[in-house]
């Protein structure tokens, strides 16, 4: 069974945390114990908001108070920028991230890893978020926005995952008043053959877990 699911997106504020929360809810409904993991969060002013949101959801779903914010978010940076930039050009220890993930995998059925930004956000000078996804996870959920530019953003990110031979599923997360139905969806539906939106997510997750 899939043990690690990496949630990434075509950019910032597209819906990674929202998607990770939904995955946790669906897994809990299936009787699986899921743990969140946000290895790096930037733009942290006091507390890592996204990681805390994930941790709170975990506690509510499982009445589990054993996890701490440091267990699920080892790297926190104040500057709202790519991790490598936010860390002042210093190297982030990938082995420390792997170690934290391994501890979670030993205790839980599935770990949902939420990335930062998009696939080519640099973690180190020559190491990107897509490299972390390939090393850490069994499957990637790529979340795309549905506004202007979504065709380019979604297909570029999808191509990158295909080139890296990373198993993945592309999900479109609608926002209000984005004209998706009339502007981008007709082309995407024809080009992709099968277009998955957030409402389809439960069936998508079923197929992911069967792999």
* Catalytic residue set: 38
Task: Single out the residue of 151, 145, 143 nearest to residue 169, CA to CA.
Answer: 143
Question: Residues 145, 173: contact at Cβ < 8 Å?
Answer: yes
How far is residue 128's CA from residue 148's CA, in Å, rounded to a whole number? Answer: 26
DSSP state of 179: -
What is the number of other CB atoms lying within 10 angstroms of the CB of residue 57?
A: 19
Pairing between β-strand 122-124 and β-strand 127-128 as defined by DSSP bridges: antiparallel
Give the burial class of 61: count Cβ atoms within 10 A of its Cβ; 0-12 exposed, 13-18 middle, 19 or more buried: middle
How far is residue 114's CA from residue 53's CA, in Å, rounded to a whole number? Answer: 12
**What are the strands of the beta sheet with 34-37, ordered from one edge?**
34-37, 110-114, 4-9, 139-144, 168-172
Which alpha helices (H) appear in the chain, and where do they start and end?
16-29, 49-62, 69-72, 83-86, 94-107, 129-136, 150-163, 185-192, 201-209
- What angle, 0 to 180 degrees and rounded to 10, lies between the N-to-C axes of helices 16-29 and 49-62? 10
């Amino acid at each position: 069974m899939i043990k690690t699911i990496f949630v990434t997106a075509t950019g910032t504020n597209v819906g990674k945390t929202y998607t990770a929360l939904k995955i946790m809810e669906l897994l809990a409904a299936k009787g699986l114990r899921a743990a969140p993991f946000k290895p790096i969060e930037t733009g942290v002013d006091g507390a890592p908001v996204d990681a805390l949101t994930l941790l709170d959801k975990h506690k509510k779903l499982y009445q589990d108070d054993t996890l701490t914010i440091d267990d699920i978010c080892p790297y926190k940076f104040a500057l709202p920028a790519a991790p490598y930039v936010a860390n002042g050009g210093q190297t982030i220890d990938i082995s420390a991230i792997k170690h934290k993930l391994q501890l979670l995998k030993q205790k839980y059925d599935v770990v949902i890893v939420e990335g930062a930004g998009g696939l080519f956000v640099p973690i180190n000078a020559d190491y990107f978020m897509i490299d972390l996804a390939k090393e850490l996870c069994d499957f990637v959920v790529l979340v795309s926005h549905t506004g202007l530019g979504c065709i380019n953003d979604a297909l570029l990110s999808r191509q990158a995952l295909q080139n890296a031979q990373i198993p993945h599923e592309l999900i479109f997360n609608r926002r209000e008043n984005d004209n998706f139905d009339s502007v981008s969806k007709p082309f995407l539906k024809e080009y992709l053959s099968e277009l998955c939106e957030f409402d389809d997510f439960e069936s998508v997750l079923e197929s992911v877990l069967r792999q």
